[in-house]
Amino acid sequence: MVRPMVDAPTTGSDEGTADAFLEGDRSLRHAPGPYFGSYGGRWMPESLIAALDELEDTFEKAKADPDFVAQIADLNKNYSGRPSLLTEAKRFAEHAGGVRIFLKREDLNHTGSHKINNVLGQALLAKRMGKTRVIAETGAGQHGVASATAAALLGLECVVYMGAEDCRRQALNVARMELLGATVIPVTSGSQTLKDAINEALRDWVANVGHTHYLLGTAAGAHPFPAMVRYFHEVIGEEARAQILDQAGRLPDAVCACIGGGSNAIGIFHGFLDDPSVRIFGFEAGGDGVDTGRHAATITLGKPGVLHGARSYLMQDDDGQTIESHSISAGLDYPGVGPEHSYLADIGRVTYEPITDSEAMDAFRLLCRTEGIIPAIESAHALAGGIKVGQRLAAEAGSAGEAASGKIVIVNLSGRGDKDVATAAEWFDLLDKDSVEAEIGKEGEQL
Amino acid sequence: MTGVQDIISTSKSAAAIDKARAEGRAALIGYLPAGYPDVEQTIAAGIALAENGADLIEIGIPYSDPVMDGVVIQAATTEALAKGFHVRQVFDVVRGITSKTDAAVLVMTYWNPVIRMGVDEFSRLLAEAGGAGLITPDLIPDEAAEWMAASDKYGLDRVFLVAPSSSPERMKRTVDASRGFVYAVSIMGVTGARESVSSAAQGVVAAAHAAGAERVCVGLGVSNAGQVREIAAYADGVIVGTALVAAIRDGGVEAVAALTKDLSAGLTREEA
């Protein structure tokens, strides 16, 4: 079915100033915070405000310091392996209505995902602030591993908070972090999930803020985190824009990314927000389906509220208690979302849609079989969304008497799927029922 | 200081602290989480607090993500939520205590439940229940425009926190925005009993007083009469939380009464 491409925001909120964008009188790319429309801000204990001020000041000065900018550029090139490739996925695209699909290959970065961009930047800021210790939260372990990596590289002590249940399910990632010299602390409070790991990291930060930087892993939290994390990921969108102009000779028709907290998405969106011809899509984790109550489709079904320092869409009950999210993808399994995404949803610049576990896993297998690339399950949500967008664009082209192959979609392949092999093997029933891997996969599937 | 007289005349918290001051002592503020172990016992324990020497009572709303709380309070509020506590029941608790005692009853809440209900509606219901105001651990004055308006409209106290890390500018801003009293966080950390009260506390109180605060109360880590005595020497009130939660957990309402009596023995200043 053909759907209108620029949907009205599904949120029904009265926020936002769409006119400002539509009239083109200001840039959406350089929103500095602390507010994005009515979202963002600092809903934080006073005890932490001084640290946030210090971080903001350090960040602003660093951005203006050519030495810092050069340091980041050097690490990106010579440590992370940037620029990441832009790969045309021709066989995969045959299943997306015949449009052209290009993959932004963040999976090829050191540590296997976009996460490295942010942790290197923040770890450098920690050093500039004279802090000797970084703490981080992690769900499945990807941000924890990236943080431990940056800490090892820069000689910082690293403590990672991780839900006790996640520690058990992701024993290999715990071992990875420990190999890199980090201490992993299992979190047994609350629901023992990612949001509780963030709570515990915040408690640590309050008590140790003098020498500790909280290396938050996504574009959420109190100002300056959303704007700062975006800044470190902007390289994704800037590279992708230059690469598509080079390879295809024009801007894409659509850009797709998956959204948990939304850091990879805001990174690639940044490159295209001021290009009105480029339609932008964020795909949330629909879990078992948005009508089942077991999902992480925060923007699709949440309501504005405050959690972990920012006002944004939030999965919450009638009492304002946070609702636990569910997704096969641990990286998207978060009941909040970065405030800039809430704003972009309200003004209609970005369209946010849910992708179910099974849609994501179908796209996961398709990419494996057609392109020889095993994606992260998070990124598979963007791939599934890319297929839908491609089919809609193809239908649009058809009714205009044009060829689908004239349409271009970029999908941000935010990470690689090595970490997800057990979960995927269980999902596709590839394992001997009695194997250890089957047991791990079964647990992973419940993430 | 303009307008302070008007405010004092309507602030229940200020009146309670001033009454203690007139008696030559600091005020005692006791914290209990609503709905732990159940609503009836929270009310009974609140009354016991008031009858045994607490001047103000702080009723916490159990919340899913209490980032400023240590393990004891987390465990209590998590249990209250698991048993089905609903935010609106906090007004039953407030009404239950204010209808039986003269204590000023404040509600301590993380901010999202208030936003969810609507800041104005929450404030209206709190005022109707006889509540004195709100203590807001994750709301800073910078984000409090709605609450400033609603608290003015319904005559509620707004108790913001100041910390050892607060800059002089923030201290001034927070003191100016507060009404009733200013909550001085004694240490950089979360709630929970500690063996000694940080030396930072006295500095925070002095800074808040210097910034114009008439009433500054100290919380976080205070659990026994000795600590109460130490703080009462320089602060206008002493806030005890975790120790009371442990008391109701281990010994019910009777234990709360006994601990309160013990704590209140520390209130009188040796040199008034």
- ipTM for this prediction: 0.94
Q: pLDDT-derived band of residue B86, with 50, 70 and 90 as boundaries?
A: very high
Query: What DSSP letter does each residue of A4-44 carry, written as one string?
Result: -SSPPPTT------HHHHHTT-S-STT--SSEETTEEEEES
Cβ–Cβ of B116/A320 closer than 8 Å? yes
Residue B57: what pLDDT?
98
Residue B230: what pLDDT?
94
Residue A431: what pLDDT?
80
Statement: residue A214 has pLDDT above 60: yes
Statement: residue A21 has pLDDT above 70: no
Q: Give per-residue pLDDT as tens, A279-334.
A: 999 999 999 999 999 999 999 999 999 999 999 999 999 999 999 999 999 889 99
For testing contact with chain B, the best of A187, A191, A321, A323 (most B CBs within 10 A): A321
Which whole number is the average pLDDT over A265-269? 98
For testing contact with chain A, the best of B61, B140, B159, B182 (most A CBs within 10 A): B140
Q: pLDDT-derived band of residue A443, with 50, 70 and 90 as boundaries?
A: low
Statement: residue A113 has pLDDT above 60: yes
Residue B107: left (phi > 0), alpha (psi -120 to 50), or beta? beta
For testing contact with chain B, the best of A15, A44, A47, A52 (most B CBs within 10 A): A47
Which whole number is the average pLDDT over A109-124? 97
Calculate what percentage of chain B has a pLDDT beyond 90: 88
Statement: residue A30 has pLDDT above 90: no
Query: What DSSP letter does each residue of B35-52 carry, written as one string?
Result: TSS-HHHHHHHHHHHHHT
User: What is the spatial distance between Cα A343 and Cα A338, in angstroms, rounded to a whole number?
Assistant: 9
Statement: residue A412 has pLDDT above 60: yes
Statement: residue B271 has pLDDT above 80: no
Which whole number is the average pLDDT over A130-152? 95
Coil, strand or helix: which one is B57?
strand
Which whole number is the average pLDDT over B190-196? 80
Q: pLDDT-derived band of residue A434, with 50, 70 and 90 as boundaries?
A: confident
Statement: residue A11 has pLDDT above 80: no
Coil, strand or helix: which one is A365?
helix
Q: Is the model more confident about A444 or about B186? A: B186
DSSP designation for A323 = P
A207 shares contact with chain B (CB less than 8 Å) = yes
Candidate from A190, A191, A319 with C-beta closest to B87: A319
pTM: 0.93
Residue A438: what pLDDT?
67
Kindly report the nearest CA distance between residue B174 and chain A, in angstroms.
9
Residue A231: what pLDDT?
98
Residue B98: what pLDDT?
98
Task: Report cis status (omega within 30 of 0) of the bond before A226.
Answer: no
Q: Which long-range contacts (CB under 8 A, 24 or more apart) does B97-101 make?
A: B97/B43, B97/B46, B97/B47, B97/B50, B97/B57, B97/B59, B98/B129, B98/B130, B98/B131, B99/B130, B100/B47, B100/B50, B101/B46, B101/B47, B101/B50, B101/B51
Active-site residue identified among A15, A56, A106, A137: A137
**Of the candidates B87, B83, B84, B78, which has an alpha carbon nearest to the alpha carbon of residue B107?**
B87
Q: How far is CA B195 from the centre of its chain?
A: 21
User: What is the spatial distance between Cα B134 and Cα B151, in angstroms, rounded to a whole number?
Assistant: 9
Mean pLDDT score of chain B: 94
Torsion angles phi and psi, residue A185, rounded to 5: -110, 115
Residue A429: left (phi > 0), alpha (psi -120 to 50), or beta? left
The yes-or-no answer on residue B58 being catalytic is yes
Residue B9: what pLDDT?
55
**What number of C-beta contacts closer than 8 Å exist between A and B?**
115
User: What is the spatial distance between Cα A276 and Cα B20, in angstroms, rounded to a whole number?
Assistant: 65
Q: pLDDT-derived band of residue A361, with 50, 70 and 90 as boundaries?
A: very high
Residue A440: what pLDDT?
63
First to last CA, chain B: 25
Is B40 within 8 Å of B32 (Cβ atoms)?
Answer: no
Place of tokens 């899509």: A281
Q: pLDDT-derived band of residue A446, with 50, 70 and 90 as boundaries?
A: very low
Residue B58: what pLDDT?
98
B140 contact residues in A (CB cutoff 8 A): 42-44, 46, 49
Active-site residue identified among A38, A147, A342, A414: A414
Which whole number is the average pLDDT over A415-421? 92
The yes-or-no answer on residue A443 being catalytic is no
**Of the candidates B134, B132, B99, which has an alpha carbon nearest to the alpha carbon of residue B115?**
B134
User: What is the spatial distance between Cα A194 and Cα A182, in angstroms, rounded to a whole number?
Assistant: 18
Is A189 within 8 Å of B74 (Cβ atoms)?
Answer: yes
DSSP designation for A110 = G
A46 shares contact with chain B (CB less than 8 Å) = yes
Statement: residue B102 has pLDDT above 60: yes
Token pair in block for residue A247: 């390879």
Cβ–Cβ of B112/A316 closer than 8 Å? yes
- Chain B residue whose CA is closest to A45: B138
Half-sphere exposure (CA, 13 Å, Cβ side) for B17? 27
User: What is the spatial distance between Cα B107 and Cα B95, in angstroms, rounded to a whole number?
Assistant: 12
Statement: residue B191 has pLDDT above 90: no
* Poorest-pLDDT segment among A237-241, A382-386, A420-424, B125-129: A420-424
Q: pLDDT-derived band of residue A69, with 50, 70 and 90 as boundaries?
A: very high
Interacting residues of B159 by C-beta distance below 8 A, sequence separation 6+: B13, B106, B133, B134, B135, B136, B178, B179, B180, B181, B182, B183
Residue B121: what pLDDT?
98
Statement: residue A123 has pLDDT above 60: yes
Residue A205: what pLDDT?
95
Which whole number is the average pLDDT over B127-137? 98
* Poorest-pLDDT segment among A72-86, A335-349, A422-436: A422-436
- DSSP bridge pairs for A305: A312
Which whole number is the average pLDDT over A231-259? 98
Residue B2: what pLDDT?
43
Statement: residue B235 has pLDDT above 90: yes
Residue A189: what pLDDT?
85
Residue B189: what pLDDT?
86
Residue A190: what pLDDT?
78
Length of chain A: 447
Q: Is the model more confident about A440 or about A388? A: A388
Statement: residue A131 has pLDDT above 70: yes
Q: Give per-residue pLDDT as tens, B9-36.
A: 579 999 999 999 999 999 999 999 999 9
